[in-house]
Homo-oligomer: A and B are copies of this chain.
């Protein structure tokens, strides 16, 4: 598959991260990734079609919240935990801790 673009740490902006997290579907994805550690897009569908999920993953990727790597035909996604924690200490923890 084509290479997926990721911002490097220095390009990650707070407002974009907040916006990425402000959607219920994407927040659910982030919660699951935090719990599962790593997952394919298909595994995290929220009952939505592939094209919708692909869109949400792209928003998360573009914001720097998620890193995606190819694994055969699948895409494995992980939270960019360490980088986000370094850039915005406590932010992800606070968001994930919220009931």
Residues of B within 8 A of A16 (CB): 22
Residues of A within 8 A of B (CB): 14-16, 18-19, 21-24, 27, 87-91, 93-95, 97-98
Cα distance A19–B20 in the bound complex, in angstroms: 9
Q: Is B87's CB under 8 angstroms from A98's CB?
A: yes
Q: Is B94's CB under 8 angstroms from A98's CB?
A: no
Q: How many copies does the complex hold?
A: 2
Residue of B nearest to A13 (CB): B24
Residues of B within 8 A of A27 (CB): 14-15, 18
- Given A90-B90, A90-B93, A91-B91, check contact A98 B24 (CB 8 Å): no
Cα distance A21–B21 in the bound complex, in angstroms: 11
Contact of A21 among B18, B24, B93, B98 (CB under 8 A): B18
